[in-house]
Amino acid sequence: MKISLALGNREALSPQTARGCVATNLALPGFGSLMAGRAIGYAQAVFTVVAFALTVVFGVKFILWGLMNWSKIHDPQADPVETMVAFWHGARWALLGMALFAVSWLWALATNASILRAAPKNEEAGKPPKLT
């Protein structure tokens, strides 16, 4: 299996290929842009991978923190402001990763519109004739 980060062909995409690039961009922002031959896909892909790494690493740390501080969090006598501050300190990096992923997804959504606009609208050539 050969993996390559080279750009796809920059020539006009068929509507079916454009929809495949859009679907890939919805799942993994940036990678569909690369398939469509857009250089901006490199930045989108890096943004996506960094966001995913932040979410996973700090999300696991937050879950472990929550398990270790379970009794403190659910203590009815505990100061709620202190508990929320501790909660924020534990969750902020994981939430940042989620926010960055949302930004990369919206960025890829804008690129998706560009990919679909660039695809020719003539799909009649590849369709079988209609039966009446």
Per-residue pLDDT, averaged over 58-69, amounts to 93
**Cβ atoms within 10 Å of 112's Cβ, excluding its own:** 22
Q: CA 36, CA 122: separation in Å to the nearest integer?
A: 18
Could you tell me if 83 and 72 are in contact, meaning their C-beta atoms sit under 8 angstroms apart?
yes
Owner of token pair 């943004």: 47
Q: What phi and psi, each to the nearest 5 degrees, are found at residue 119? A: -75, 135
CA 8 to each of CA 11, 36, 40, 86: distance values in angstroms, whole numbers, following the listed order? 9, 6, 12, 47
Q: pLDDT tens digit string along 88-125? A: 999 999 999 999 999 999 999 999 999 988 888 755 55
For helices 15-27 and 80-118, give the axis angle rounded to 10 degrees. Answer: 170
**Residue 69, Cβ density class (10 Å: 0-12 exposed, 13-18 middle, ≥19 buried):** middle
Q: What phi and psi, each to the nearest 5 degrees, are found at residue 7? A: -65, 150
% helix / strand / coil in the chain, to the nearest 5? 70, 0, 30
Nearest residue to 36 via CA among 105, 121, 113: 113
Q: pLDDT tens digit string along 28-51? A: 999 999 999 888 999 999 999 999
Q: How confident is the model at residue 73 (pLDDT cuts 50, 70, 90)?
A: confident
